[in-house]
A and B are shown apart, each in its own frame.
Chain A
Amino acid sequence: MTSPTLALSHVLRPLATLSPPSNSRTWQTAPHPSQPIVATACSDRTVRVYSLTSFTLLHSITGGHKRSVRSVGWKPGVRGQSVLATGSFDASAGIWRRREDDESEPKDFTNRNTGDSDEEEEDDDYQFACILDGHESEIKSLAWSPSGQYLATCSRDKSVWIWEELEDDNFETVAVLTEHDGDVKCVNWHPEEDLLVSSSYDDSVRLYREDSDDWVQVAAIDGHKMTVWWAAFEGSGMAKVDFRKQRDGLGEKQTQYIELLERSGPRLATCSDDCTVRLWRRRPRERHDGGTGMPSIIRSAAIDEDWLPEATLPQQHTRAVYSLSWSQKTGLIVSAGSDGKIIIYKERWKAPDAPSTSNGASNGASADDQNKDWMGEWALSEWVVVAELWEAHGVFEINHVTWAARRDKGVRWEGEEVVLSTGDDGEVRVWTLDELDVQEGEGSDADKMVDA
């Protein structure tokens, strides 16, 4: 346990299993942006909505899809109701609505208003609102843009669709992007910009944005050697909360490095069948002086972005990594996959004597480029594994993992998060991340994790 990339200072401990679990494979769990609930996409064609307060099932959304529900997503920024999008192997996406009561109203333990009449009972369920048809085969993933303006869906038909809700339940297709050569496994949005990422069976990752009313590819990322299962951006403004928060005592280079990261904006994390988790950073745009009157044809070229390989996280997985989540509260990354392990990674400054800071000289143009961008071995930060949990779902595979705000009574500090893992055993498990004592951390943490 003395490896610099393995500093097990934390342990994942089981808090709850959402109950009752599904009888068949569960694919993905989406925490609601504000309510203490999650939606789980199930292979039995349903969506299960659980409480993160009581860890029990609140609603089962049935009758909408003819095949597995593969992906779910809550529309952000909606008031007075919850809007859920569901993507299915039946090639369609569904939109569901439920009126949300004022949180100050008294509720009984089933989270329903006391004294429901029949009419209200009906109103209490998730109502089917509309269906989004267009994909030719299974929908693999969907994601709302941070403003809620756009919904992106992707499919085995190799395409990514962007839908815009013009008014309630009236969705218009604003783009059909067909850049990939294989199934598109995942879509996600940049937290600050209308920038969409997709990852694919063709081993590549692509980014898109709108340019003169047309959505176009602005970057393609190659690097993974096999299917890229998931791609997700870092949260917004993370420099104020993660390892960059403590500015005292930093060297000049480290300060420059923080500024460089700030100019790049939120980074991108991807994970793959090749067992790796990788990070990518946008090369900051050069500043143009007086470049306002450029003709549109040049502007189109200027929209291209350069995403560079920043880091490969310590490789702890021995089989496909299906999912990762980047905490917007702490900057920690969690990953999980076919080997049944959950891994938590943390970023920190490299030791001052590390090669990156002492190695002033570099050979060759490409090394110079890398050096200039402070990528890869020139990065001033490094990622270490802080917690590792074996067989989090017994012998079953984990299909999805995500951070969520802790909402039960045992919450220990403001902003505490839990990890939610979704498995082939039909279970969604809730984990807390506990810091170990120094002595504990030095000792046989692995044994403790197995015991836990």
Chain B
Amino acid sequence: MDPNKDNANPTILNPSDLPSRRRESTVKRRNDGASGLFDDLIPRYNYLNDPFEQSELSSDSEDGEFEHIDEQEVYDLISSISDPEHPLSLGSLAVVNLPDIRIQPPTSPFSSISTVVVEITPTITHCSLATVIGLGVRVRLEQALPPRFRVDVRIKKGTHSTDEAVNKQLGDKERVAAALENATLMGVLRKMLSTCE
């Protein structure tokens, strides 16, 4: 046991058990019907217009081409982030899990802003690094996703002793911006994200 670590003996998942695009068929579709692996088959708005025109209309302002992004892609972006205290990925530690990722479509036909909600599960309830992990997930997604995505990272309810405080911090744009200008914290984040492609 390493006394310096919050959780010296985490549960580690077998890499072959992790959801990935290659073994798509093994991933259960979420039963709420609102979002899931098959999102890219459904037009984002069958509202007002011909559904076949929609994907053209909602084109990404960045590259002119609308790119469908689903939960699996978000999972792939963040599961490879390294845990700050173990040489393991957040996916293999089950800190990030596919069923805890939700993509919410724009709230109105006049908007192209979607929201990605990621609930993270710290390895133990008093894990002091929960904020850093959450920040790493938020930063990774803000850097990798097109700007039309708002990223909300939260601690999964009931898994952390101070989840409300951590959530408030992770949701505060100004605090996140200031954190990214902190060299020490950026060093930690850079190390965590170095294992991402």
Contact = CB atoms under 8 A, between A and B. Distances in A.
A339 B148 CA distance: 10
Given A390-B108, A394-B61, A396-B147, A273 B171 contact: yes
A183 B175 CA distance: 9
Interface residues of B, number: 20
A319 B150 contact: yes
Given A68-B178, A89-B181, A394-B61, A338 B111 contact: no
Interface in B140-180: 146-148, 150, 168, 171-175, 177-178
B174 A391 contact: no
Contacts of B61: 394-395
Contacts of B172: 183, 201, 227
Nearest to B111: A390
Contacts of B107: 318, 339
A382 interface: no
B177 A395 contact: no
Given A25-B177, A68-B181, A201-B168, A391 B147 contact: no
B53 to A, nearest CB: 15
B112 interface: yes
B117 to A, nearest CB: 12
A424 B107 CA distance: 20
A234 interface: no
Nearest to B110: A390
Contacts of A25: 177
A140 interface: yes
A140 B113 contact: no
Contacts of A43: 177
A67 interface: yes
Nearest to B149: A395
A450 interface: yes
B162 to A, nearest CB: 14
A397 B173 contact: yes
A266 B105 CA distance: 41
Interface of B: 61, 107-108, 110-113, 146-148, 150, 168, 171-175, 177-178, 181
Interface of A: 25, 43, 67-68, 70, 89, 137-138, 140, 156, 183, 185, 201, 226-227, 273, 318-320, 322, 338-340, 390-391, 394-397, 424-425, 446, 449-450
Q: Which 10 A-B pairs have the closest CB atoms?
A: A395-B148, A390-B110, A67-B181, A138-B178, A89-B178, A318-B107, A395-B147, A394-B61, A450-B110, A395-B113
